[in-house]
Amino acid sequence: MSFDWLSFWEFLPRMLQAALVTIQVSVLAVGFSCLLAPPLTIIRLIAPWPARVVVGVFVEIVRGIPPLVIIAFVYFGLPAIGLMFDGFWTGVVALTIVGVAYAVEIMRSAIESLGRGQREAALALGFPVWRTYLELLFLQALKRTLPPLTNELANVIKASALLSVISVHEITQVGNALIFETFVVAEIMVQMTILYLIIVGALSTLSRKLESRLV
Amino acid sequence: MMPHQSIAPRPRAIERGLLNVNLTYMFDVLVRLLPALGLTIALSITALLIATPIGLLLGSFRASSSSSGIIARLLDIYIFFVRGTPILVQIFIVYFVLPALGVKLALFWMGVLALVFNSVGYQIEIGRAAVQSVAKVQWEASRALGFDDRSTLFRFIMPQAARRMVGPVMNELSQLIKASSVLSIITLFELHKSAESIISADFRFVEVLVVEGFLYFLFIYTLSFFAVRLERRLSSSDGLVEQR
Amino acid sequence: MNETTEQIVTEQTTPQPLLNVTGLSKHFCDFTALHNIDLSLADGERLIICGPSGSGKSTLIRCINQLESPDSGQIELQGQLVGKAPRDLVMLRRRVGMVFQQFNLFPHLSVLDNITAAPRKLLNLDKAAAEHKALELLARVQLIDQSAKFPAQLSGGQQQRVAIARALAMDPVLMLFDEPTSALDPEMIREVLDVMRELGEQGMSMIVVTHEMQFARQAADRIAFMDQGQILAIETPEDFFDNPSQPRLKRFLDNILQH
């Protein structure tokens, strides 16, 4: 069984285009998650009781359900309350929901792992609670969040493959379609694999660089 | 058999603002989904029972001194691959490659195999961390008593490592339950696929999805709840004095 | 008047005590940490609180700067009643400094930044002024050449002295010390106590929870003995050590002065 290099090069452009879609969805989802997570974490930590519970419940539920079900919910369920997106944006919304929930959990436990001492020292100096968290604790916790956060964001990128079920033309969907069109299996699988490894690998490298910058 | 491409198309006319929720229907759906939930659990637990011992073994290998041998590098490549690609892709590989190699497996076992393949990639790390966390003094004490490395490993280190793995392994079970939903794409009738087929018949999206989500959540949340208690119980009877 | 919770009226000429605590109580679940405590501190007075563990000493001073919120009772600082609103708490804490057993310096900031953080962010001091003040304080605690270092690079005694400087940077009217030397290696206790002693001699009002009896004898204006959530005795050092009125106190002194 030899490697069909002809098909390999023939399909590469389409796969690369699909990779672009994967990257777009991932970047948007990861970006929104990173923007929304810090304020939500603060709410989860120090807001009055009702707000904290709402965020807490949201995080627990999203983390306790498979991402595929969340995608299905955004795509099929949200239209019932008037929110209907196309495939691509469903993907972004669904993956953001997943990313935010895990990110908030990671940030929360990172801050709590700092221990009571510093929080009390800051309060004793006269810092209001919210400034204590935002200006002192958060910054420190950032370093601790980077490894688990990178891991979670890699999961978001991998979850983008699930968007193939709602016909978003990302790597898995296009690859799959090609396989069924042309019955060329191995070569396309290799392409899919390599593309994902590159994208996820790039994220890891980026995060490692960021981590070394923060130390 | 071809895995289908997408679920039922979204209906054009959707009631705006009105969530038509019928609790009786939802309860009925819940009961209909129970067998599928059973399949989900069967898939996940089977995969866990196979993957965890492998993870512990390979992990302790990885933790030991032969960390730059060729097998170690192969393991690293395997882990890099499993962690860097979506589980869906891994499922497709099992689904397409196996028949091509002439291996005929029932769909259930293909699913289990894909899950094991994925889980081991993470459990090697769990096993390695657990073995390494067993204090060095245990090794020293055992060697001083005259046990060789292999005996030490199996008699003393692994049992303690196994204890420390409980928490991460319970978490891994949660991950497996969530991952099993992806097997719906190769038309394995676990929870998600069954929910899908009910939706294709009745078109009552929100109600079915809520029931499905509820079932997943119930299981995973209860699991994590007991995992925490179990872990606390086990670590308190650990006997090791923690040196800070 | 209840013997065990005496209301001490200061004999100083200033009519108004700096700090006046009345009826302070605090429960944790079903455990009463503080039992209707009354306490008064004059301006410039140095009070030391000692007692067995679990007696409520730490809880008491943590209630004073509201790190713990008392269940009942009231606190007056400089004649003003301390309210419960977040704003009141913040204002209170800016006037009361606290030094912790575990130092609690900010590990990601240098010594200088640790000290200037609060004045710059809370009092809106500009960088130059804040740093100038910080360096003065560092000179006072004998750490002027460590300003650029990070907490992890300092010894316990040095860290605690930085913590004292950090608290002083806010110009508090009252300093609270919660077992400041209990986490230190024996060799470093002295350097911290020296700083505290000097601070007291320069007129700072302070309440110190400590086991260091020598220090208490030398540096305190009054010493209070607490047990099971109550102040059993509050005397001058001479009366406290040489003439203990309470049997429980006597037992405590016998045990701890043995070595």
Tens place of pLDDT for every residue, chain C, 259 residues? Answer: 444 444 455 444 556 788 888 888 888 887 888 888 898 898 889 999 988 888 888 889 999 988 888 888 889 888 888 888 888 888 889 999 999 999 999 988 899 999 998 898 888 888 899 999 999 999 989 898 888 899 999 999 999 999 999 999 999 999 999 999 999 998 899 999 999 999 999 989 999 999 888 888 888 899 998 888 888 888 888 888 887 777 888 888 878 776 5
Give the separation between CA B26 and CA B22, rounded to whole angstroms: 6
Residues facing residue C235 across a β-bridge? C223
Q: Report chain A residues whose CB lies below 8 A from the CB of B17.
A: 81-82
Query: pLDDT per residue over B15-74, tens digit each?
Result: 443 456 788 888 888 999 999 999 999 999 999 999 999 998 888 888 775 656 788 888
pLDDT value of position C15: 64
Residues facing residue C76 across a β-bridge? C20, C81
Q: Report chain B residues whose CB lies below 8 A from the CB of A186.
A: 97, 100
* Tokens read off for B161: 């490592």
Cβ count near B173 (within 10 Å): 22
* Tokens read off for A40: 């939500």
DSSP secondary structure code for residue A126 in this structure:
T
When CB atoms are compared, the residue of C93, C104, C121 closest to A117 is C104
Q: How far is CA A40 from the centre of its chain?
A: 15
Nearest CA in chain C to A116: C104
Q: CA triplet B224, B229, B235: central angle to 5 degrees?
A: 120
Chains C and B touch (3+ CB pairs under 8 A): no
Placement of tokens 């077992």 in the chain? C179
Residue partners of B33: CB distance under 8 A and separation at least 6: B191, B194, B195, B198, B211, B212, B215
Task: Read off the amino acid at residue A156.
Answer: V
B101 touches chain A (CB under 8 A): no
SS3 B135: coil
Placement of tokens 């796969």 in the chain? A15
Residue partners of A20: CB distance under 8 A and separation at least 6: none
Give the dihedral sign, CA C214/C219/C224/C229: negative
pTM of the predicted protein model: 0.79
Alpha carbon of C159: minimum distance to chain A alpha carbons (Å): 13
Check residue C79 and give left, alpha or beta (phi > 0: left; psi -120 to 50: alpha): left
pLDDT value of position B217: 95
- Beta-carbon separation of A120 and C170 below 8 A: no
DSSP secondary structure code for residue C211 in this structure:
S
The ipTM value here is 0.88
Instruction: Choose among B43, B39, B52, B121: nearest CA to B86.
Output: B121
Instruction: Choose among B148, C90, A159: nearest CA to B157.
Output: B148
DSSP string across A141-178 = HHHHHHHHHHHHHHHHHHHGGGGGGGT--SHHHHHHHH
B217 touches chain A (CB under 8 A): yes
Most A CBs within 10 Å: which of C64, C87, C90, as the mutation test of the A interface? C90
SS3 C34: strand
- Beta-carbon separation of A196 and B85 below 8 A: yes
- Beta-carbon separation of A120 and C163 below 8 A: no
SS3 A46: helix
